[in-house]
Chain A
Amino acid sequence: MAAPGAAATDLEVVRGKRAALFFAAVAIVLGLPLWWKTTETYRAPLPYSEISGLNALQLRLMVPVTVVFTRESVPSDAQEKLPFTVVHEREIPLKFVTISQSGSFGWTSLISTGMWTYFRNSPPVIFGIQFLYDKMKIKCRFQKAYRRALDHEEEALSLGSMQEAETMLAEPQEQAEGSLTVYVIPEHSSLLPQDMMSYIGPERTAVVRGIMHREAFNIVGRRVIQVAQAMSLTEDVLAAALADHLPEDKWSSDKRRPLKSSLGYEITFSLLNPDPKSHDVHWDIEGAVRRYVQPFLSALSAAGNFSVDSQILYYAVLGVNPRFDPASSSYYLAAHSLPHVINPVESRLGSSAASLYPVLNFLLYVPELAHSPLYIQDKDGAPVATNAFHSPRWGGIMVYNVDPKAYNASKLPVRVEVDMEQVMEVFLAQLRLLFGIAQPQLPVKCLFSGPKSEGLTTWELDRLLWARSVENLATATTTLTSLAQLLGKISNIVIKDDVASEVYRAVAAVQKAAEELASGHLASAFTASQEAVTSSERAFFDPSLLHLLYFPDDQKFAIYIPLFLPMAVPILLSLVKIFLETRKSWKKPEKID
């Protein structure tokens, strides 16, 4: 009787063991991986190796220069060798320039300044470039293609004056962005004034004197390089572009703080009239924008989209009380009070509502009758000629004094017609400074024709595009690198597929931009660099990256224990029991033995 019962319980026990083992197997083999897979954060694959490769990217900026030799500019045996190509390459010492211009102290900077002045005219460069944690190096390559002059060029360059020569030369071809053409004229040609060795024109052309010498090509080549550097890439252009990425130098001059590269800009012209009772101010802003600003902005249009608007604000006062200067019986604003002028006015400008692009504000302030005339004084106490000041990355303010003769006959309010040309001269100059288009550093004995009527020469635009391309590439690289670092540091960030595709696109665009820069195609390099920046920013700032699911370890336990413990305890206990029984059954035969 007991045997079948025992057999039944045996069977049950065996079944129980098998069931427990089965549960445990399912839990461990199926459950654990399933739980692991469903609770991991989704990360689409990203090209980490390529991103770290971007750090070590060697940027080569190529400037294609065409050097055209006229007859008699170099000895005829030298002319036999034309056409050929010479490449001049140098590494740009970015870190150096910032030291010299900031006037910081210390022995290393003194030595570096000394060494630079000594080595001024020779290419060897002492300093490499270090950039934060990026080892981006920049090499500048001038590819000079020497050739003989064509007939119409010979004719043009034998004309009497520079302007005529230029108009004749400009007709046939349109220069690609970033490229330059340098014409070499005979040593004693009268096209240039006697003491001038070279000339830089408003389009992408320059003229250099040749020389009748054995080493003609070397000498002329050096002159060409000097001129080409002034027109395209110099250290300060690139240093200004990369100022935000270089490690030290927070106390370098803020003059070199141009606007950050962006897809578009919004320019706002505001007329501030604090005293409408006395001044009835009219300004023909639409006409002025059409005549002066639009040509300038269309010359700059390669650098971004611009939109212009204007407004008139009444009863808007500056935040600072001007002081009275009895000597000139006028009012003045001292230089140290200027920083406090902007803040009270800014809240009324309404610039924040306009668009997501950076906004540049240009304010024209007509002082009140009680404070007229108002002059701005510089640090030495002398009145400023332009009566204007600007703030980097914000805009500019100009004070417009009403002509005192207007008060004579008429009663208040006096009608004031603003002279828009004078105003726009200042505003456009400020706009140039805010964009970082500084006056070029000309080589010695060089004649500069001055900008065209728009206020911008084409090679200044090229310099801006070079600077912007390099800046965009640096920004895109740091964004991608910091995204990769973040993903390593914070494990809960989700990367969706579209974010991953943006990252791939950004990496491809950076590589394409670097290639285009190395082959000298500035326009396509600039568009590729802009695309790189937009894609990388879109990937980094995608709203889906926000990790909200941070669980510190004790909270993780607090969540998982009530879920898993009730299930795990019986399984574990039964496993332990099975193990102990199996061990006992192994030992039993020994004992009997």
Chain B
Amino acid sequence: MVASCFLRKCLTALAGLLLLSFGSLAASQIEDQTEQFFRSGHTNNWAVLVCTSRFWFNYRHVANTLSVYRSVKRLGIPDSHIVLMLADDMACNPRNPKPATVFSHKNMELNVYGDDVEVDYRSYEVTVENFLRVLTGRIPPSTPRSKRLLSDDRSNILIYMTGHGGNGFLKFQDSEEITNIELADAFEQMWQKRRYNELLFIIDTCQGASMYERFYSPNIMALASSQVGEDSLSHQPDPAIGVHLMDRYTFYVLEFLEEINPASQTNMNDLFQVCPKSLCVSTPGHRTDLFQRDPKNVLITDFFGSVRKVEITTETIRLQPDLGNMESRYKKEWMDEELMEPLKYAEQLPVAQIIHQEVTGHQMLARW
């Protein structure tokens, strides 16, 4: 009786142990598998951040774009890989009571303008034509490198647009519009030339969902702040500055992004939940049917951050040491010593000749 009980216990323990070891082995294998399968195939990240409205009362659009810029920079994308287009200058606007700042939270809690903002397209350069040229790469040859989107087929691109929009269009600079069909065609041209690996398109305007309805190129994921027929609302006015500081959707996105660090594993499904209708009043929408991977396997840092793939260098090549080394080293030391004498500027002005008549008497004075 006791023996059989003991035996049964032994067997169950053994079975449990086997199961555990098998499970852990399988789990580690599965982990390797999942790591390999769900890793995105990108090697670099780009971001195109566009604010399309001008005038002081559209302060919130500039603040929206700058807060996304700030998050993207904090998570690692360098300025050389960010194309920032701001249609108006709010920080140095004459109506700004706090010059050189752009706040996103009231009571001046967070200055998103910071110290090192690099705006690539500013004020009147933000046009539909320039935006499409940046996306498709059809830029005149004289354009400087910082104004180009030099992405390749392994780049993940984040495109953020904000401003005033309507059903099927987005207004640029109060004078022209970009339609959703033009945008879809621009993305198709990017896809044909393999200028992106995956694209995340975020738009914060009224009726934003209409802008992503017409996309037809693969590997695009889109988020919008409101559905067709709804308006996106702004968040909070600041009495000191006198305008609304941020839009609701981007405000909550910024809060969400502030908790992400370069090593975090948060995925896109969490981003879809940001700003539910109770907070945002409009219903944010998203579109993932063109995207190949499952959104829950897409990390936020795949688009907002820039994690490089690195490899350890394990090999070296054999170089022959240069025998002329010693001589050159001596020569260099000798040259260094020569230069130890204090250096002085060359005579800048022939002062003595200018003040010709006073040369004799006041020579010392002239030659300070």
Residues of chain A having any CB pair with chain B under 8 Å = 102-105, 244, 250-251, 254-255, 257, 260, 284, 287, 291-292, 335, 338-344, 346-347, 351-353, 355-356, 376, 378, 384-386, 388-394, 396, 398, 421, 424-426, 428-430, 432-433, 439, 450-451, 453, 455, 478-479, 482-483, 485-486, 489-490, 540-548, 550, 552
| Contact, CB under 8 Å: A547 / B192 | no
Does B218 lie at the interface of the complex (its beta carbon under 8 Å from any beta carbon of A)? Answer: no
Min CB distance A569 to B, Å, is 30
> Given the known A-B contacts A251-B39, A393-B43, A485-B192, are A552 and B316 also in contact in the complex, defined by CB atoms under 8 Å?
no
B43 to A254, Cβ gap below 8 A?
Answer: yes
> Which residues of B lie under 8 Å from residue A453 when comparing CB positions?
319-320
A339 x B317 contact (CB < 8 A): no
Give complex CA distance A251, B329 in Å: 49
Contacts of A341 in B (CB 8 A): 310
A421 touches B314 (CB 8 A): no
Some 28 contacts from A to B, beta carbons below 8 A apart, are: A102-B36, A250-B197, A251-B36, A254-B311, A255-B311, A292-B319, A340-B262, A340-B263, A342-B308, A343-B78, A343-B308, A351-B80, A352-B146, A356-B145, A389-B311, A390-B310, A421-B321, A425-B318, A429-B315, A433-B315, A486-B192, A489-B188, A490-B189, A541-B136, A546-B132, A546-B133, A550-B181, A550-B185
A429 and B312 CA atoms in complex are apart in Å by: 12
Contacts of A478 in B (CB 8 A): 194
Most buried by B among A292, A340, A343, A344: A343
Interface size on B, residues (CB 8 A): 59
Question: In the complex the two chains form, is A346's CB within 8 Å of B78's CB?
Answer: yes
Chain A residues within an 8 Å CB radius of B78 = 343, 346-347
A499 to chain B, nearest CB (A): 11
- Kindly list chain A residues whose C-beta atoms are within 8 Å of the C-beta of B132: 546, 548
Q: How near does chain B come to A167, taking the closest CB pair, in angstroms?
A: 17
A430 touches B80 (CB 8 A): no
Q: Does B140 contact A (CB under 8 A)?
A: yes
Cβ-neighbour of B193 out of A343, A489, A490, A540 (below 8 A): A540
CA distance A393 to B154 in the complex (A): 11
Whether B313 and A390, one on each chain, are in contact in the complex, defined by CB atoms closer than 8 angstroms, is: yes
B contact set with A: CB distance below 8 Å: 33, 36-37, 39-41, 43-44, 76-80, 128-129, 132-133, 136-140, 145-146, 152-154, 179, 181-182, 185, 188-189, 192-194, 197, 262-263, 306-322, 328-329, 332
Q: Quick one: which of B182, B306, B309, B314 contacts A254, CB cutoff 8 A?
A: B309
Which residues of chain A are within 8 angstroms of B44 by Cβ–Cβ distance? 393
Distance between Cα atoms of A451 and B317 in the complex (Å): 9
**Bound CA span A250–B152, Å:** 14
Closest B residue by C-beta to A251: B36
Q: A251-B36, A543-B139, A552-B179 are in contact. Are A426 and B316 (CB under 8 A)?
A: yes
User: Which residues of chain B have C-beta atoms less than 8 A from A392's C-beta?
Assistant: 43, 309, 311
14 other A-B residue contacts (CB within 8 Å) besides A340-B76, A378-B312, A543-B139: A103-B36, A250-B197, A251-B39, A257-B154, A338-B310, A339-B308, A340-B307, A346-B80, A385-B314, A390-B313, A421-B322, A425-B318, A548-B132, A550-B179
Residue of A nearest to B137 (CB): A541
B152: chain A residues at CB < 8 Å are 260
Q: B319 — which chain A residues lie within 8 A by C-beta?
A: 292, 421, 424-425, 428, 453, 455
Interface centre among A355, A479, A541 (most CB of B within 10 A): A541
CB–CB B33/A105 < 8 A: yes
**Which single residue of chain A is at the shortest CB-CB distance from B198?**
A250
CB pair A541 B138 closer than 8 Å: yes
Smallest CB gap from A451: residue in B: B317
Question: How far apart sit A104 and B35, CA to CA, in the bound complex (Å)?
Answer: 12
Chain B residues within 8 Å of A391, by CB? 308-311
State the CA gap A391–B128 with chains docked (Å).
36
Taking CB as reference atom, which chain B residue is nearest A453?
A: B320
A546 close to B80 (CB less than 8 A) = no
Nearest B residue to A430 via CB reads B313
- B263 contacts across to A, CB distance below 8 A: 340
Within the complex, the shortest CB–CB distance from B3 to chain A, in Å, comes to 46
Complex Cα spacing A485 to B77, Å: 33
8 A-B pairs with the lowest CB-CB distances in the bound complex, closest first: A250-B41, A352-B80, A482-B192, A343-B76, A425-B316, A388-B313, A347-B78, A338-B310
Q: Note all chain B residues with C-beta closer than 8 A to A421.
A: 319, 321-322
In angstroms, Cα B193 to Cα A388, docked, is 35
Q: In this complex, what residue of A is CB-closest to B41?
A: A250
Q: Once the chains are docked, how many angstroms separate the CA of A340 from the CA of B261? A: 11
Contacts of B310 in A (CB 8 A): 338-339, 341-342, 389-391
A389 to B314, CA, bound (A): 8
- Residues A104 and B36 in contact, CB atoms below 8 Å apart: yes
Question: CA–CA, A33 to B73, complex, Å?
Answer: 55
- Min CB distance A131 to B, Å, is 13
Whose C-beta in chain B lies nearest to the C-beta of A335? B312
Closest to A456 in B: B317
Rounded to whole angstroms, the CA-CA distance of A284 and B327 in the bound complex is: 13
| A479 nearest in chain B by CB position | B193
Q: How far is the CA of A356 from the CA of B141 in the complex (A)?
A: 10
A384:B313 contact, CB within 8 angstroms: yes
Which residues of B have CB within 8 Å of A376? Answer: 312
A386, B316: Cβ atoms under 8 Å?
yes
Contact partners of A284 in chain B: CB under 8 A: 328-329, 332
Query: Of B39, B145, B309, which is in contact with the most chain A CB atoms at under 10 Å from its CB?
Result: B309
Least Cβ–Cβ distance between A103 and chain B, in angstroms: 7
Q: How far in angstroms is the closest Cβ of chain A from B241? A: 30
Q: How far is the CB of B124 from chain A (nearest CB, A)?
A: 17
The answer for the CA separation of A255 and B311 in the assembled complex, in Å, is 8
Closest to B313 in A: A388
Residues from chain B with Cβ under 8 Å of A386 in the complex: 312-316
**Nearest chain A CB to B224's CB is how many angstroms away?**
20
A483 and chain B: residue at smallest CB distance: B192
Q: Which residues of A contact B318 (CB under 8 A)?
A: 425, 450
Task: Report chain B residues within 8 Å CB of A483.
Answer: 192
Given contacts A485-B192, A548-B132, A426 and B138 within 8 Å (CB-CB):
no
Complex contact B313–A426 (CB within 8 A): yes
State in angstroms the CA–CA spacing of A396 and B309 once bound together: 12
Q: For residue A545, give the distance in angstroms from its CB to the closest CB of chain B.
A: 6
Contact of A390 among B41, B192, B311 (CB under 8 A): B311
Taken together as a complex, chains A and B put the C-alpha atoms of A335 and B314 apart, in Å, by: 13
In angstroms, how far is the closest chain B Cβ from the Cβ of A346? 5
Known: A391-B310, A550-B181. A250 touches B188 (CB 8 A): no
CB distance from B33 to the nearest CB of A (A): 7
Which A residues are in CB contact (< 8 Å) with B332?
Answer: 284
When the two chains form their complex, are residues B193 and A251 in contact, meaning their CB atoms are under 8 A apart? no
Query: B residues within 8 A CB of A260?
Result: 152
Q: In the complex, A21 Cα to B56 Cα: how many Å?
A: 59
B306 close to A343 (CB less than 8 A): yes
Cβ–Cβ < 8 Å partners of B328 in chain A: 284, 287
Q: In chain B, what residue has the closest Cβ to A385?
A: B314
Interfacial chain B residues near A482, Cβ < 8 Å: 192-193
- Chain A residues lying within 8 Å of B77, measured Cβ to Cβ, are 343
B76, B179, B262, B313: the one within 8 Å of A429 (CB): B313
CB contacts (< 8 Å) of B33 on chain A: these are 105
Q: How long is the Cα–Cα vector from A344 to B262 in the complex, in angstroms?
A: 12
Beta-carbon nearest neighbor of A481 in chain B: B192
Bound Cα distance A171, B329 (Å) = 36
CB distance from A480 to the nearest CB of B (A): 11
Contacts of A548 in B (CB 8 A): 128-129, 132
| Complex: chain B residue closest to A393, CB-CB | B43
Contacts of B329 in A (CB 8 A): 284
Per the bound structure, the CA–CA distance linking A390 and B262 in Å amounts to 19
CB closest chain-B residue, reference A545: B138
Knowing A284-B332, A343-B308, A543-B138, say if A396 contacts B43 (CB, 8 Å). no
**Complex formed: what's the CA distance from A287 to B146 in Å?**
32
In Å, the complex CA distance between A421 and B316 comes to 11
Q: B152: nearest residue on chain A (CB-CB)?
A: A260
Choice from B40, B128, B133, B154 contacting A244 with Cβ under 8 Å: B154
**Whole-angstrom distance between the Cβ of B25 and the nearest chain A Cβ:** 16
